[in-house]
């Protein structure tokens, strides 16, 4: 996320004006919070539709589930920044984080991180025990299994990290209906499969940064050709998912299938493109639009049923 912070790089120092609010948004990774709120809201909305409950009659559940989700994600991201502060100062794209610039002390970051997580879990448990449990799973998988363990040790770290990113729609659904429908698990599976090609594309763009920091991302360890092949395989795994979402209607299934095919075609085109980084950027941008459009389309599809 581009922002204006004081950046202290390894080889040079650049001073840029910033504000405490921008530093705070950078700490909690507001872009990640916002994108996950879209999937969490979709989970809430679809659960209300599938259980024949009215949205306006459930505003308390909607509010608590989204607030709780935002808080645990923001808190987990703050802890991730604290854990990664040593390697972030080596990676040019991350030197603007307040944990690197010194704008926020370690004690303040930990207070925000743990405070947000506790408050968020309270909100989720007020909706349902199942939502709260999924919240705990999301926090542990991101902070412990990914940030503290697999990220610096295994090339499969991206797959481990995908667990936490796939949890928000389950949290949203469970807040309304703890008896999760098959559709809820399909949302989880879609999110889980979506993340490797999305983050591998980003890792290709930042390959040299990860190499310098000693992080065993797939492009660093196995190279671009292997990474491209893995990305195409993961995208291909998305092809069956729309057909398990038939309750959302044929138009949605057709739309999702077309998006899957489009992504797969773009992925295969990577074998012919000479500029790997340009292709990685195209794949990354496509993945962002894919996620946003499909989850918004799920909500719209139910309005016409």
User: How many distinct structural domains can be found in the chain?
Assistant: 2
Query: Per-residue pLDDT for 15 more than 70?
Result: no
Comparison of pLDDT for 3 and 272, the residue scoring more: 272
Q: Decide which of 178, 200, 222 is a domain's last residue.
A: 178
Q: What is the pLDDT of residue 84?
A: 96
Lowest mean pLDDT among 2-6, 15-19, 84-88: 2-6
pLDDT tens, residue by residue, 83-124: 999 999 999 889 889 999 999 999 999 999 999 999 999 999
Question: Does 299 lie in the same domain as 203?
Answer: yes
Which two structure tokens, joined as six digits, stand for 4?
A: 């204006």
Question: Does 32 lie in the same domain as 51?
Answer: yes
Query: Per-residue pLDDT for 6 more than 60?
Result: no
User: How far apart are the C-alpha atoms of 225 and 6, rounded to whole Å?
Assistant: 36
Find the DSSP H helices in 244-275. 250-269
Question: Does 122 lie in the same domain as 22?
Answer: yes
Query: Per-residue pLDDT for 3 more than 70?
Result: no
Q: Which residue spans within the chain are E strands per DSSP?
A: 7-8, 13-14
CATH of residue 241's domain is: 1.20.120
Q: What is the pLDDT of residue 305?
A: 67
Question: Does 146 lie in the same domain as 165?
Answer: yes
Query: Per-residue pLDDT for 7 more than 60?
Result: no
CA atoms within 13 A on the CB side of 30: 10
pLDDT confidence tier of residue 9, bands split at 50, 70 and 90: very low
Query: Per-residue pLDDT for 61 more than 60?
Result: yes
Average pLDDT along the chain:
93
CB-based contacts of 229, cutoff 8 Å, min separation 6? none
Question: Does 208 lie in the same domain as 236?
Answer: yes
Question: Does 131 lie in the same domain as 276?
Answer: no
pTM, entire model: 0.92
CATH of residue 112's domain is: 1.10.357.140
pLDDT confidence tier of residue 18, bands split at 50, 70 and 90: confident
Question: Does 30 lie in the same domain as 145?
Answer: yes
Question: Does 144 lie in the same domain as 11?
Answer: yes
Question: Does 196 lie in the same domain as 167?
Answer: no
What residues form DSSP beta bridges with 7? 14
The answer to whether the beta carbons of residues 241 and 259 sit under 8 Å apart is: no
Angle at 84 between CA 83 and CA 86, to 5 degrees: 110
User: How far apart are the C-alpha atoms of 21 and 196, rounded to whole Å?
Assistant: 31
pLDDT confidence tier of residue 236, bands split at 50, 70 and 90: very high
Domain range for 193 is: 181-305
Which two structure tokens, joined as six digits, stand for 282?
A: 């195209």
């Amino acid at each position: 996320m581009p922002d204006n912070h004081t950046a202290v790089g390894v080889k040079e120092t650049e001073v840029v004006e910033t504000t405490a609010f921008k530093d705070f948004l950078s700490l909690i990774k507001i872009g990640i919070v916002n994108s996950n709120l879209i999937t969490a809201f979709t989970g809430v909305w679809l659960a209300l539709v599938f259980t024949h409950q009215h949205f306006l009659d459930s505003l308390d559940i909607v509010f608590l589930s989204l607030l709780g989700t935002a808080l645990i994600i923001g808190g987990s991201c703050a802890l991730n920044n604290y854990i990664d502060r040593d390697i972030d100062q080596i990676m040019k794209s991350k030197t603007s984080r307040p944990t690197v610039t010194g704008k926020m002390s370690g004690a303040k970051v930990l207070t925000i991180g743990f405070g947000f997580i506790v408050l968020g879990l309270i909100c989720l448990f007020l909706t349902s025990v199942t939502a709260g449990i999924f919240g705990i799973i999301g926090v542990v998988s991101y902070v412990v299994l990914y940030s503290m363990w697999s990220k610096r040790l295994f090339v499969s770290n991206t797959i481990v990290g995908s667990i936490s990113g796939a949890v928000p729609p389950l949290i949203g659904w469970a807040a309304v209906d703890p008896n999760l429908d098959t559709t809820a698990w399909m949302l989880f599976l879609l999110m889980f499969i979506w993340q490797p090609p999305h983050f591998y594309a980003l890792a290709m763009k930042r390959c040299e940064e990860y190499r310098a920091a000693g992080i065993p991302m797939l492009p660093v360890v196995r190279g671009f050709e292997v990474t491209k092949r893995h990305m195409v395989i993961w995208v291909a795994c998305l092809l069956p998912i729309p057909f398990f979402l038939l309750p959302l209607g044929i138009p949605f299934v057709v739309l999702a299938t077309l998006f899957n095919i489009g992504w797969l075609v773009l992925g295969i085109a990577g074998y012919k493109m000479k500029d790997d980084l340009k292709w990685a950027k195209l794949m990354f941008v496509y993945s962002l639009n894919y996620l946003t459009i499909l989850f918004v389309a799920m909500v719209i599809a139910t309005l016409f049923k």
